[in-house]
Homo-oligomer: A and B are copies of this chain.
Amino acid sequence: MKNGDELVFLPLGGSGEIGMNFNVYGYGPEDDRKWIIVDCGVMFGRETSTPGVDVIMPDISYLAERREDVLGIVATHAHEDHIGAIAPLWPMLRCPVYATPFTARIVEGKLEEAGLLGKVKLKEVKVGGQLKLGPFTLDFISITHSILEPNLLAIRTPLGVVAHTGDWKLDSDPLLGEKTDEAAIKRLGDEGVLAVVCDSTNALNPGASGSEKGVRDNLIELVGTLKGRVAVAAFASNVARLDSAARAAKANGRRLCLVGRSMHKMVDAARDTGYLRDLPPIASAEDAAELPPHKVLYLVTGSQGEPRAALARIAEDNHPGVFLESGDTVIFSSRIIPGNEIGIFALMNKLAGRGIEVITADGHDVHVSGHPAQDELRQMYQWLRPQIAIPVHGEMRHMTEHARLAKSLQVKQAIVPQNGQMFRLAPGKAELIDEVPSGQIHLDGRVLVSEGAGLAKARRGLGFAGIIAITLVLDGKGRSMAPAAIVTEGIPEPVAGAIRTTVEDHIARAGKRSDPDELAETVRRAARRAASEAWGKKPITRVTVVEV
């Protein structure tokens, strides 16, 4: 530790929303700071706020300007909201990427798809291993979540240790992979922890989140009560759940059949890295289709109602390989991600309308969350006893409740950060020292749009009230040479008619006006006024002048 050294924390994503986890740690004096990125995730666009946007990533211009000093991206685990932005944002950062083997294998697949495989220095850290990056030493401590190889990172610096939990829960029997390394976490607490940066997703939930083992037992029992075909919808990344589905099939004389590309990818990645060695043989869709209904269990993607995923196509009865009918059952071994309700319910309605029984986690214990509820948070704070609690990965309501809980456990200081806020964690009392750009980059179609919010807003405007596009054809003196071209889209016909009449009248009356820009502006205003009077809404209105 040198004079002027500071340890700083800067979330660029994930604080104030679920997903898009992107945390930055800096160490050194202000003019010579080294940076590490912990997780680099996306969140998914919404039809309401960002129509037409597939994924959203944080604005990383602050880091891009300092990329010589960014020592690496460290991934805690392989969920999209922690690694999904590595491939799209890497060209702006060009730093090495570090992860444990399963996570690295998933990242590798994504880099390959993006054509970046040879270019990115992707380095494996062994499970339970250590990584030195400049002034930072990171211990990877195994914890449990809803995917293989989740890690709590003990980030050691000369100014203290930060425990960055990543996503976690305390699952006494995660079925696959390591259990939580409680001993290591307790040792860390005994050493003394400066700050805990911790998952807030379930901070509003009392109790504990439950174990994958319980889900397995319930699935085995439930499938035993069912007669026809069974399809279990689950997140492909939950490999333990996949293994449970396989065992629920086997225990009930059924063959497991995987449906959906991401299911196969996850199984391949898990097998490549040493997991799922005793998975019973998997039936192909062709083989499964030949089996009697009571002999098959499909594990399918699409539990969130995604229109192009396997389950949506099965519900529409247009999946090439899987057919369900009255008497069959779909088990949603999943939760509803907020915002997906309508799509998921529409999917369930289609299934129900075809006589297919729908079983959800509402009525049966067929899902557990991968995030810590209040009892688990309490346990973690009891183990680590930090000076500072920094809730991340949650909406404001989760983070504030998390902070309240931490304070009630005698944590001295609780900081609820917002994306783009830089906090000095040491030396001295933690405090906000800077705010950096914290906008969003949208992946819109195939194009990365920085400051995508503006474009999304324009498209929301189009969705709300449509558009009027008017082209005036004028001669050099501003006289109309032909009827205006008036295009309306998304506007009810009687309103569009009123607009056309108004514009035409206006041009006829303004026949001798000489300033084309002025004419364009008065036409624009008249068109909007006509829409507003006939409709009560003002469409986006664009007037173009063509001079002949």
Q: Give chain A's interface residues, CB within 8 Å of chain B.
A: 16, 46-49, 51-52, 204, 206, 338-339, 341-342, 345, 348-353, 355, 358, 362-363, 395-397, 399-401, 416, 444-447, 449, 455, 458-460, 462-467, 469, 471, 473, 481-485, 487, 489-492, 494-495, 534-537, 540, 542, 544-548
Contact = CB atoms under 8 A, between A and B. Distances in A.
A342 B467 CA distance: 27
Contact of A471 (B206, B458, B465, B546): B546
A548 B339 contact: no
A540 to B, nearest CB: 6
A482 B546 contact: yes
Given A341-B341, A459-B464, A473-B473, A352 B537 contact: no
B395 A455 contact: no
Given A204-B362, A353-B400, A537 B464 contact: no
A476 B458 CA distance: 37
Contacts of A542: 469, 487, 489
Given A460-B463, A487-B544, A536 B204 contact: no
B487 A469 contact: yes
Given A353-B400, A459-B490, A482-B548, 15 more contacts: A47-B47, A48-B342, A52-B464, A52-B490, A204-B362, A358-B397, A445-B492, A447-B492, A447-B536, A459-B466, A473-B473, A481-B548, A482-B547, A487-B542, A487-B544
Contact of A447 (B446, B494, B545): B494
A238 B342 CA distance: 25
A489 B463 CA distance: 12
Given A52-B463, A536-B446, A537-B445, A482 B490 contact: no
Contact of A341 (B338, B396, B484): B338
9 contacts: A339-B341, A353-B400, A447-B494, A449-B492, A458-B466, A459-B463, A459-B466, A471-B544, A482-B548
A544 B544 CA distance: 13
Copies in the complex: 2
A471 B490 contact: no
Contacts of A444: 492, 535, 537
B482 A473 contact: yes
Contacts of A471: 471, 485, 487, 544, 546
Given A341-B341, A395-B349, A462 B490 contact: yes
Given A353-B400, A537-B445, A485 B548 contact: no
A400 B455 CA distance: 42
Contacts of A462: 459, 462-463, 466-467, 489-490
Contact of A445 (B355, B473, B536): B536
Query: What 4 A-B pairs come out closest when comparing CB atoms?
Result: A463-B463, A462-B462, A51-B463, A471-B471
Nearest to A347: B397
Contacts of A352: 395-397, 399-401
